[in-house]
Amino acid sequence: MEREELISVISSLYDENQNLLFENGNLKKLIFGAKSERFIPEVAAEQTSLDFGATPDAPKAAPATETITYEREKNNDKTKPSRQPIPAHLERVVHEIKPEEDVTGLVTNRRRNNRGVRIYTSQAVCQ
């Protein structure tokens, strides 16, 4: 191929690439762009409207207003739900889990003591 033929092929490929990029951009805008259900009619300024004998912009009657009053009871109970204590008739069993290594001088996250972890459970007594 000669130089002029190569230049014409490159320019045609460049033009085709630009057209495809433009079309791809428009398709992406349609698919991924903002969508709206609102319809805005495009009315040309030179277009006239037809007169069908209707009165032009007849004054509308003001809507009737109605005042409504009512009373309701306010719920002032702002307490958050909390756990109930274990019932008194159930036997309490305390399991203490202490670390195996020496923890003197260390501080726990929740409490400022080294007593380990206490797990409180209850056992139902069946009679």
Model confidence pLDDT, tens digit, residues 87-99: 888 887 777 777 8
51-54-55-61 Cα dihedral, nearest 10 degrees: -140
Question: Which residue range forms the structural domain that includes residue 116?
Answer: 91-123
Distances (CA, A) of 88 to 116, 120, 127: 26, 14, 16
pLDDT tens for each residue of 50-101: 777 765 566 677 788 889 998 888 877 777 778 888 788 888 777 777 788 8
The answer to the question of residue 38 being in a domain is: no
Q: What residues are paired with 96 via a beta bridge?
A: 118
Residues in the chain, overall count: 127
In a domain? residue 118: yes
Whether 112 is covered by a domain: the verdict is yes
The answer as to whether 43 is a domain residue is: no
| Count of structural domains, the chain | 1
97's CB contacts (< 8 A; 6+ apart) are 116, 117, 118, 119
- Asked if residue 1 has pLDDT above 60, the reply is yes
Residue 98 lies in a domain: yes
